[in-house]
Amino acid sequence: MKSAKRRVRAVLFDFDGTLADSYAGIAASVNHVRARRGLPPLAVAEVRKHVGRGPAHLLQHTVPGADLDRDVAAYRAHHPSVMEAGTRLLPGARDAVLAVKRGGLLLAVCSNKPRPFTERLLQHLDLADFVNVVLGPEDVPRPKPDPAMVLCALDRLGVAAADALYVGDMSVDVQCARAAGVEVWVVTTGSDEPAVLQQARPDRLLSHLGELPGLLGLAD
């Protein structure tokens, strides 16, 4: 573990499972696609396990025998109708974002969720004004765990990897940050179980984002 209260210039957040619990909305769209194929609905907990690696991965693992291009298109067409009602901020998320901004740090969101969905949800959750850069899989050649998204965010922010912190909720996030040379903390509020996160060996494991301001020396 790295020391607490390390001063950074920028904090990069994942979205699903890190800033927001969006699993109900995601499950609703998955079940919409399943219904089109005559399949019964899945529980939110089952869908949640497959969130975080992008829509193609999600549907490959929740809609058997899928026509992937058609199913992704159906998912993306349906999701705007349910994503706001099916998404809420996770405990401590708003306080963490506000503390980062009050501390004069830059803020980015790097998510495998399609960027238009992330941008709309940040507006809905009243966080958009605090975020300097939003990136999704359409902005880079390869999604996370490839480091391209984090490296692109650092470039747009004008911040070196050594001066940034990445905060996510999955082993994918740890792999991505490691490959980008960025310190990585993870919260246990997302798709991966704590044991999986510990095995991925992040620099710090948090139970929720409310711990972040104090650890960065940003608490009031």
Q: Which residues are catalytic?
A: 14
Per DSSP, what are the bridge partners of residue 10?
106, 164
Name the DSSP letter for residue 158.
Answer: T
Are the C-beta atoms of 153 and 119 separated by less than 8 Å?
no
Per DSSP, what are the bridge partners of residue 184?
166
Strands 183-187 and 204-206: parallel
